[in-house]
Structure 1
Amino acid sequence: MTRIVQLTDSHITARGTLWKDQVDNAARLRLQVSAVNALAPDLVVHSGDLVEMGPFAEGPAEYDHAAEILADLSAPLRLLPGNHDGRAAMRAAFPEQEWQGAPYLNFSADLDGLHLVGLDSVVERQTEGDFPPAQAAWLGGALDDRPTLIVLHHPPCPMGLPFMDGFRFDNGPALACTIAGHNVLRLACGHVHADVAVHWAGTVVAAADAGSVHIPPDMPAFDALPPEEDRRAGIEPLRLRVFDWQDGQLSVKTLAAEPPAAFAVI
């Protein structure tokens, strides 16, 4: 069996700081790393928003902090950028990473017959995602007849989330056309800070829980929240998305990274 663990949306800040002065995302990522090591995966994929201010002056210090934490992983690591990441700073902090399709940070790997594709969906310094022609050409050249798991930061379609669906993904139909006729089992994403899946383009688009905060799926859209109300994200127990590939079958699980608060005998 081949096991892959997905991490996403860690939003690490510089040492000695908290995310939005409230959340210790570094401590949460350390807890995730410990839980991942206990699962003994063959590979760990981080699907973006590793840090909070990646393209800006704060980026190098944040990536240095994140790299220190991720160095404790016992399994190999593959990284993709999210909209909070900066490609140049990420490259500098993780020189051992092998990306394709420059300036984009893509990758392609075979794991015992499962084709794992990492697709950069970032428009740097913008929240929205995109699938431009250069990426369509790269992905079209990478895909073949193998069963394929594509990992990217942004969902390429609306996910039924009033708040997060307000951030568009450009050229989703082009991505649907590019994967048509290929055995794409799943598109694994992050970005929306919620565990949610939709059927799209003959496959499944599924976002994993964030390593930072949870955005409620019913959070109102930008223009629907009364001005006197704050947007509130939950600091919830951490969970991990796990992909097990065995005998031509992909099994997808969500496992707790922290012990449950209580147990029931069943």
Structure 2
Amino acid sequence: MNHVDLRPKKRSALRIWLGTQFYILKRWLEWKIGNKTYATELTSEMLPYKSFSHKTPTLRKLKDVDMWYQHNKVINLRLAVKKINGVVIRPGESFSYWKLIGKPTRKKGYVDGMVLFYGTFKPGLGGGLCQLSNLIYWMALHTPLTVTERYRHSFDVFPDSKRTQPFGSGATCSYNYLDLQLRNDTDHAFQLCVKLEEDELVGEWRLEKPPLHVYKVYEKEHSITSAYWGGYLRHNVIHRKVINLSGKEVDDQYVTENHAIMMYEPLLTASEQEQSG
């Protein structure tokens, strides 16, 4: 691993803005003239079989982060969930996170939430929607859906306190060029169901045929190393075990590799992590 590649690059605000606009336009053209068939069908009628479900808390107290960020995140999540809940992905179709949600704007009701930015955070319109993309990606890893596009977080911002998933098992998002895309390479339809229930974001993948396998996602080669330019780097490899209905492991598949710059002291005790996270 080349540590220089992870070192934050100093760029002017103008260059960041121009680069963002270029990639937004590039994505828009891909949606319009590309050769993918994107899923657009939304229905309240649920497919009969459950593949995998998961839920995450929407209100989490983080050190030095005002709770209004969390409450505004819930507002944004409610709007985004309406655009995605019930989408059916037919065989050969692709799911695009941002194509379904659209651009978050104040006119649509989106508000400022927490946006991660170069290892820190700031207010940003539509902030907090990464919790939804994280949930969808994590659930997709427990299905035979093919992840065709996913972006990892470049910075590990918060400690592991109460973390139940491996480091690097999420998917960051930014309209519209940092997208999460999945493709259905099976011979039957999948359906994504998501909702907000009390203080939790709840998701589920459903099928029109009974599932043939279950999946166990885990990490390998986890390490924390110091960088010569200062700070610490975190690394791991995500795999998943494929288990048939008889309980026999039939495959062990590579999923992805993660590298991130740590933005907190890696040797915190459990109690210190609780206070920081």
Q: Considering only CA atoms, is the larger Rg found in Structure 1 or Structure 2?
A: 2
> Higher strand fraction: Structure 1 or Structure 2?
2
User: When the two structures are superposed, what TM-score results if normalisation uses the length of structure 2?
Assistant: 0.25
User: When the two structures are superposed, what TM-score results if normalisation uses the length of structure 1?
Assistant: 0.26
